[in-house]
Amino acid sequence: MESETLEQNQKNEQKISRKPLIDTQAKEELNALLDLLPEAIRQQINKQERDIELLEVVMDLGRRPSARFVDGEVILRDQEITQDEIDFVVNNIGKFDDDNRAGIARTLHRISALRNRRGDIVGLTCRVGRAVYGTSDIISDIIEDGKSLLLLGRPGVGKTTMLREVARILAENKRVVVVDTSNEIGGDGDIPHRAVGRARRMQVPKPAFQHETMIEAVENHNPEVIVIDEIGREAEALASRTINERGVQLVGTAHGNTLDNLLLNPTLSDLVGGIESVTLSDDEARRRGTQKTVLERRAPPTFDIVVEILDRDRVIVHRDVTKAVDGMLYGKPEPVQLRHWDETDELVVELQEVTELPAALSGRRGGRQGVGGSRLVREVRGRPDGQREGTVQPRRKINGSTTAKPHHRPLNIVTIDEENGEPKKPLRIFSYGVDRSRIYRAAGHLGLNVVLVEDVKDADVLVTLKSYYRRRRRLISDAEIYRVPVYILRANSIHQIENFLAEAAGMEVSPPDPFDKALVEANEAIRRVQAGENSVNLRPAHRDIRRHQHDMAREAELISQSFGQEPSRYVRIYGPNA
């Protein structure tokens, strides 16, 4: 009987040990922060009896003081804060740094100041800093991989707490240097807090010099790991890339809820490779189902793994940032892991994928098939046999049902009846600059039922010409708001319209017409002269086609001339140095 009780107690201890633990010293350090506050406010906080859940105490001149807990904010009293109460706290703290932050020696607390135009302090945010052990257990296997790791999350979600724990664990076996800009990781004062373990700490004289301190740490102290909190400036992102290229492991944090948020942040996007605008050929744009101008990854990511912290017990892990970013930009599902603690305090790892991506990233015309939308949908998928993780076939959600990943088509807007092969509903088209009579004529050739609508929000697709597309950006923006695909024609010809309608209906597209061939040839010629050839002669073509070829050369800032007599007249494109 005693042995069974002992065994049960051991199991209970193992379960409890998986949760983050707050030691007794943290309670003593909390009292050091509360002692700085006015007596009346300190008494109100003590009445709450929620010391462990306390996050911040906010004191603004002329407003009621409040305490922020894990589950919300509580007003401490109805009486407003006076200037004397703010001065009382400031006098107890001492001098604030250039970033308007101060701390308490040998603790992790942070006091931030709000100033008026004259530089007087009129508000205080007293954040409680705790050494919470066990917060990094949820990514313990990732920490041991030795790859560069970036933690993302909204302010106050626990990025710095987890970062501090990661630094302590890595310092047990590696040379770790913490670049502590605001003394949040190692605490205030010259002696680092014991929560960072054996890691060494470099303080930053001014926040603007953080990138210089990062480089100095690598050059002077021979670290194996650099730990950085709050990477927020472009210089710090560039310094991070320099450190990574020198073979030093990086562990850092940045503000941003998700990976796609970071990609769209021009200051910090270089941390995950950065993005740049690329112009595709017409065939490549049609093959991908995207617009002509798309975004692609500019360089290898600085960080190998990104962890999105949803809350204290749930994270999303991108194990391969290179594939994740490329998948976002190409509009492909992005495999990720959702990790959380269950009711029995065991770690659960579930596979999931991104089924919708921001249109600003994917740039896809066919946004209705789960890619190219305006929001991020993460759908959790587990194994049917109940195992935590394994080989799960990638699937996507279409119209509320789960199906196998379909064969890719650029548009395929119209649903086809499998019995008779005819569309179940008419294709609603908003035409901007395309001849309406030719649309009806092309639809008649293909046997399609089309309706031309007067309002873009009622359309299944917007079709326009390349020249019109450049003129009216507002109309295109409205189409993206209503998630209406945009199809761009290069010419107002029956053949081009038929190709568009065939793609919209998922029908087999006929071979390209001579107009398409001539423009593809001109694109290839431009590429060749830009690569170094003096000049390239194009095949003889009709004068309308030659005019478009001249326009393409002019857009590429090249010189072109026509030679010969009709019908053998052709275009010659010259290189930049010809």
Q: What is the pLDDT of residues 499-542, one digit of tens each?
A: 888 877 766 555 556 777 788 888 888 888 887 888 889 888 88
CB-hemisphere CA count at 13 Å for 109? 27
Domain boundary among 127, 146, 164: 127
Angstrom distance (rounded) from CA 54 to CA 71? 10
What CATH number is attached to the domain comprising 109? 3.30.450.90
What CATH number is attached to the domain comprising 159? 3.40.50.300
Angstrom distance (rounded) from CA 469 to CA 121? 53
106 and 215 co-located in one domain: no
What CATH number is attached to the domain comprising 437? 3.40.50.2300
- Asked, as a colleague might, if the bond just before 567 is cis with ω within 30 of 0, I would say yes
What are the residue ranges of helices labelled H in 246-336? 259-263, 282-288, 321-330
Angstrom distance (rounded) from CA 558 to CA 309? 50
Q: Is the pTM of this model over 0.75?
A: no
Residue type at 33? Answer: L
Residue type at 490? Answer: R
In this prediction, residue 24 carries a pLDDT of: 65
296 and 147 co-located in one domain: yes
Is 446 domain-assigned? yes
In this prediction, residue 84 carries a pLDDT of: 94
72 and 178 co-located in one domain: no
Tell me the C-alpha to C-alpha distance, in Å, between residue 291 and each of 294, 411, 470, 497: 6, 12, 13, 17
Domain boundary among 127, 157, 191: 127
195 and 178 co-located in one domain: yes
Tally the domains of the chain. 4
Angstrom distance (rounded) from CA 30 to CA 24? 10
Domain boundary among 95, 127, 159: 127
Q: What is the DSSP string of 134-196?
A: TGGGGGHHHHTTT--EEEEE-TTSSHHHHHHHHHHHHTTTS-EEEEESSSTTT-BSSSPPGGG
In this prediction, residue 112 carries a pLDDT of: 94
In this prediction, residue 412 carries a pLDDT of: 46
Lookup: tokens for 172: 């047990």
Contact indicator for 167, 193 with CB cutoff of 8 Å = no
176 and 309 co-located in one domain: yes
In this prediction, residue 448 carries a pLDDT of: 83
Is 296 domain-assigned? yes
In this prediction, residue 276 carries a pLDDT of: 83
59 and 100 co-located in one domain: yes
Is 232 domain-assigned? yes
- Sign, CA torsion 289/295/297/303: negative
435 and 321 co-located in one domain: no
Task: Render the burial of 291-328: b for 16+ CB within 10 Å, e for the rest.
Answer: bbebbebeeebbbbbbbbbbebbebbbbbbbeebbebb
Determine the 3-state secondary structure of 461 from DSSP: strand
Angstrom distance (rounded) from CA 143 to CA 165? 10
Contact indicator for 408, 506 with CB cutoff of 8 Å = no
CB-hemisphere CA count at 13 Å for 115? 12
469 and 337 co-located in one domain: no
Contact indicator for 466, 432 with CB cutoff of 8 Å = no
Is 397 domain-assigned? no
99 and 208 co-located in one domain: no
Containing domain of residue 545, as a range?
Answer: 514-574
Lookup: tokens for 564: 């010969």
Angstrom distance (rounded) from CA 456 to CA 548? 29
Is 185 domain-assigned? yes
244 and 278 co-located in one domain: yes
Contact indicator for 440, 466 with CB cutoff of 8 Å = no
| Contacts within 8 Å (CB) and 24+ apart, 136-140 | 136/162, 136/165, 136/166, 136/169, 137/18, 137/20, 137/347, 138/313, 138/315, 138/339, 138/340, 138/341, 138/347, 139/307, 139/315, 139/317, 139/339, 140/169
Element (H, E) at 12: helix 2-17
By CB atoms closer than 10 A (0-12, 13-18, 19+), residue 361 is buried
Is 291 domain-assigned? yes
Contact indicator for 249, 237 with CB cutoff of 8 Å = no
319 and 195 co-located in one domain: yes
What CATH number is attached to the domain comprising 562? 3.30.1370.50
Torsion angle defined by CA atoms of residues 243, 248, 253 and 259, in that order, rounded to the nearest 10 degrees: 80
Please calculate the CA angle 241-244-246 and round it to the nearest 5 degrees: 115
Is 545 domain-assigned? yes
Closest Cα partner for 514 from 534, 539, 492, 537?
539
In this prediction, residue 357 carries a pLDDT of: 53
27 and 69 co-located in one domain: yes
* Angular region, 303: left φ>0, alpha ψ -120 to 50, beta rest: beta
Is 194 domain-assigned? yes
Low-confidence ranges of the chain (pLDDT < 70): 1-24, 288-290, 333, 354-424, 470-473, 506-513, 578
CB neighbours (10 Å) of residue 353? 22
In this prediction, residue 342 carries a pLDDT of: 83
* Segment 38-59, tens digit of pLDDT: 999 999 999 988 888 898 999 9
Torsion angle defined by CA atoms of residues 282, 287, 290 and 294, in that order, rounded to the nearest 10 degrees: -70
CB neighbours (10 Å) of residue 467? 14
Residue type at 437? Answer: S
Contact indicator for 193, 183 with CB cutoff of 8 Å = no
In this prediction, residue 295 carries a pLDDT of: 78
